[in-house]
Structure 1
Amino acid sequence: MAIAFAAAAAILIAINLLSIIIAGWRMVRTGTPAPPVMERSPVSIVVPSNGIEPFTTETLARAFALDWPQYELIFCVASPRDPVIAEMRKAMAAHPAVHARILTGEDRISANPKLNNCVKGWKAARHDWVVLADSNVLMPRDYVAHLMAGRRKNTGLVCSTPIGARPQGFWAEVECMFLNTQQARWQYAGEAVGFGFAQGKSMLWFKPLLDGNGGIEALANEIAEDAAATKLVNRLGYKVHLVSSPFDQPLGRRSRHEVWSRQARWARLRRVTFPLFFAPEVLLGALPPLLFAVTAAILFGVNAYAVAAAVTAAIYLPELALGLAKGWRVSFLSLPAIIVRDVMLPLVWIRSWGSGAFVWRGNAMTIGTKDCELEEAV
């Protein structure tokens, strides 16, 4: 029994280290210029928005300052009374050379409010290449070039995970540790070995491909548009690929409740859409290998404290090194934030297996065991 526990701990530590090595090899440091792109076709960028966020002014300014020969911005807002529209108009007035439009209204094609908000923008896009970009992505000047450079011969979709940046307060630091060295790391490691999953923050589509296979309405087949995109692309025989350097998402201040509810929502979405891939997530983080290793140490009669310290170092030091190597957020709060994250991971996993209601962008939603519902806006 002691040998079995020790072996389980060693396997989990090895898998954790391997994922860090693969992700580190797959990604380049934040701020690295995009690889050269020969094809510089016109691009439509569809940005669904809802309300003013802490960094709205900056993210809008970045969207109007992209280094790409020809692109259009299509801002999609569900309510014509949304205050973010005034901010968009200010940005448009300050950058008259960039073709931009604001479209209001909502097409209820799914239980996903963001997808419903995107429909009008997708249909209005004038170009064959379309980017669906969340409003809180901090686009670098070579944003489009990074996405275009991510294409390969078998690519059906190019995406980027969000990298948490500019946290204010401890719980925003915790969210950085969820987003960066946890979720982004595993997503890039998975893509590198052939299991690419779409990420809805930034998605580059070849419009004729999606239009020829059900159109944007096909993304309503799952509650999460990125899950539907992954399944559609794979069904067509293509792959989801990621950019070489993922884009920042400035966080600002986060509360404990916000971090918990966001992670619980994402976990429930993963559980509903990809249950077989989601089930092993309970083994992620430091707690499972730490529990196995300490149990083995007690059974072997060796110093359990020394074993616990060794396991903790083997898990956390490479993870922090990955963050430093890629230019991500690492501070004196990062280690306690990682520990809190790893305590939350199994609790979030357990919570995800039940039904639950939450408010997403002003919409009440319920995620059950097999389906999801969008209720009346609140």
Structure 2
Amino acid sequence: MELALIAGSLSAALVASNIASILLASSKLRRRSHVPPPADNPLPVSIIVPARGVEPFTQETLERAFSLDWPDYELIFCVANADDPVVRLIRSAIARFPVVHARLLIGEDRVSANPKLNNCIKGWEAARHDWVIIADSNVLMPGDYVQHLMSAWRHDTGLVCSTPIGSRPDGFWAEVECAFLNTLQARWQYAGDALGLGFAQGKSMLLNKPLLDANGGIRALAAESAEDAAATKLVDGLGLRVNLVAAPFEQPLGRRTLDQVWSRQARWSRLRRVTFPLFFTPEILIGAAVPLVLALIAAANAGFSLRLTVIAVLVATYLPEWVLALAKGWHLSPRTIPAMMARDLILPAIWVRGWLGGAVDWRGNEMIIRTKAAELDETPSRA
């Protein structure tokens, strides 16, 4: 009976922490609504877009970047290789939208083993304005994209960012990726923000150029394996905050395979393990797997129904997640709950993978992520 009490109490505590994280995140998140540009003297903004390869929604995300409701902004597209197929699409978009000041810069500055950071260096140095946004090419920018980022800046802010919110999944494994991105990763990041633990997310980052240049410039972001982790630590070191936008931006997914979902999650898991090990360690406890196992141990020892125990834990875990997605206008479908379950079955393996060495894939490169940025190796992928 003592084992049943201990296991049951631990299970209840984990389920309660899951619900608490949803409530905390909900307090920081808002449904998307239009934010008009400021009426007087809006600040000019440089938007750096590192790009590599063509994805299903590349054409649309490019067009969105040229259609922002901000009076004064420039676009700086950065591509490492001239033979990348995305070059043609970028040049075509620049030609179709001559009103927007846009440039395409090709080449790579190897200041680190982080391919994205290397690709962004030239864009940062070419940026003409004090306010700079670094935005991944697969972000579906709304018309008020700049407004959302700028409105989150406060007097004690060093960086504003947005987590990606998965949308338009095609197939079950894309639904699983939505379950990872939305009600798990975004939820915990906003819950952390509610507790004063701001972590940068590299999908969309608003930076003040003079501030960063006075503290090592963009090359300072090579201090960690991931540029967003380095930015988080740099901002914390300055006594400033990382703020999140109230309504995070979409990333349309399209089709995904299990291998693609595993590859992304394994890479991000390893990066979190290397850059923030103390926060990564308890990740094994999130999701339904551990509380369900503990609840079943308690039920078996106390003579309770195992079937009812499973139902109770799953309802207590997934119903609040579903309500969060509904309340914030995120993607939902009949496959959402099964996708959440599949995600939570994968989570323990992803967590274990985060502790192991070996190569992970980043857009056609095999990356070996070790415990220091200087030990992050990059080799051509065989894929």
TM-score range, shorter chain: over 0.9
Q: Give the SS at the match of 1:48.
A: strand
Pick the aligned partner of 2:125 from 116, 119, 123. 123
Q: Contact 1:8/1:289 (CA < 8 Å) preserved in 2?
A: yes
Match of 2:290 in 1: 288
Deviation, structure 1 residue 363: 2.4
Pick the aligned partner of 1:207 from 209, 224, 228. 209
How many residues of Structure 1 are paired with residues of Structure 2 in the alignment? Answer: 377
Q: Contact 2:37/2:144 (CA < 8 Å) preserved in 1?
A: no
* Partner Cα distance (2:42, 2:197) in 1: 28
- Paired residues for 1:195-344 under 5 Å: 195-344=197-346
Pick the aligned partner of 1:63 from 39, 59, 65. 65
* TM-score, normalisation: structure 1: 0.97
The range that moved more, 276-285 or 302-311, is 302-311
- Paired residues for 1:69-80 under 5 Å: 69-80=71-82
- Paired residues for 1:6-45 under 5 Å: 6-29=8-31, 31-34=32-35, 37=38, 40-45=42-47
Match of 2:179 in 1: 177
The aligned amino acid for 2:294 is F
Matched, 1:162 2:164: yes
Q: Contact 2:66/2:100 (CA < 8 Å) preserved in 1?
A: yes
- Kindly, what percent of the aligned residue pairs are identical? 62
Deviation, structure 1 residue 35: 7.3
* Partner Cα distance (1:35, 1:23) in 2: 25
Matched, 1:112 2:114: yes
Q: Give the SS at the match of 2:265.
A: helix
Pick the aligned partner of 1:4 from 3, 6, 30. 6
The aligned amino acid for 2:376 is E
- Paired residues for 1:131-150 under 5 Å: 131-150=133-152
* Partner Cα distance (1:374, 1:150) in 2: 35
Q: Contact 2:266/2:360 (CA < 8 Å) preserved in 1?
A: no
Return structure 1 stretches of 4+ with deviation > 4 angstroms: 35-39
The aligned amino acid for 2:353 is R
Matched, 1:374 2:383: no
Distance of aligned partners of 1:37 and 1:276 in 2 relative to their CA distance in 1, 3 Å threshold = farther
The range that moved more, 37-46 or 72-81, is 37-46
Q: Contact 2:263/2:361 (CA < 8 Å) preserved in 1?
A: no
* Partner Cα distance (2:379, 2:331) in 1: 38
The range that moved more, 20-29 or 156-165, is 20-29
* Partner Cα distance (1:100, 1:377) in 2: 30
Q: Give the SS at the match of 1:217.
A: helix
The aligned amino acid for 2:35 is A
* TM-score, normalisation: structure 2: 0.96
The aligned amino acid for 1:254 is R
Match of 1:51 in 2: 53
Match of 1:90 in 2: 92
Match of 1:360 in 2: 362
The aligned amino acid for 2:352 is I
Deviation, structure 1 residue 368: 2.7
Q: Give the SS at the match of 1:250.
A: strand
What do residues 225-244 of structure 1 show as CA deviations (whole Å, max 9, x unaligned)?
00000000000000100001
Deviation, structure 1 residue 375: 2.8
The aligned amino acid for 2:287 is G
* Partner Cα distance (1:35, 1:55) in 2: 26
The aligned amino acid for 1:210 is L
Q: Give the SS at the match of 2:376.
A: strand
Gaps of 5+ in 2: none
The range that moved more, 120-129 or 2-11, is 2-11
Q: Give the SS at the match of 2:304.
A: coil
Distance of aligned partners of 1:360 and 1:328 in 2 relative to their CA distance in 1, 3 Å threshold = same
* Partner Cα distance (1:310, 1:333) in 2: 20
Deviation, structure 1 residue 37: 4.7
* Partner Cα distance (1:37, 1:156) in 2: 21
What do residues 201-234 of structure 1 show as CA deviations (whole Å, max 9, x unaligned)?
0000000010000000000000100000000000
Q: Give the SS at the match of 2:105.
A: strand
* Partner Cα distance (1:94, 1:374) in 2: 39
Deviation, structure 1 residue 52: 1.2
Deviation, structure 1 residue 292: 1.2
* Partner Cα distance (2:28, 2:317) in 1: 20
Gaps of 5+ in 1: none
Q: Contact 1:353/1:369 (CA < 8 Å) preserved in 2?
A: no
What do residues 291-350 of structure 1 show as CA deviations (whole Å, max 9, x unaligned)?
111111122222222122111100000101111111111101111111100000001001
* Partner Cα distance (1:45, 1:190) in 2: 27
* Partner Cα distance (1:228, 1:102) in 2: 26
* Partner Cα distance (2:191, 2:43) in 1: 30
Distance of aligned partners of 1:305 and 1:123 in 2 relative to their CA distance in 1, 3 Å threshold = same
* Partner Cα distance (1:129, 1:158) in 2: 11
Q: Contact 2:153/2:160 (CA < 8 Å) preserved in 1?
A: yes
Deviation, structure 1 residue 370: 4.6
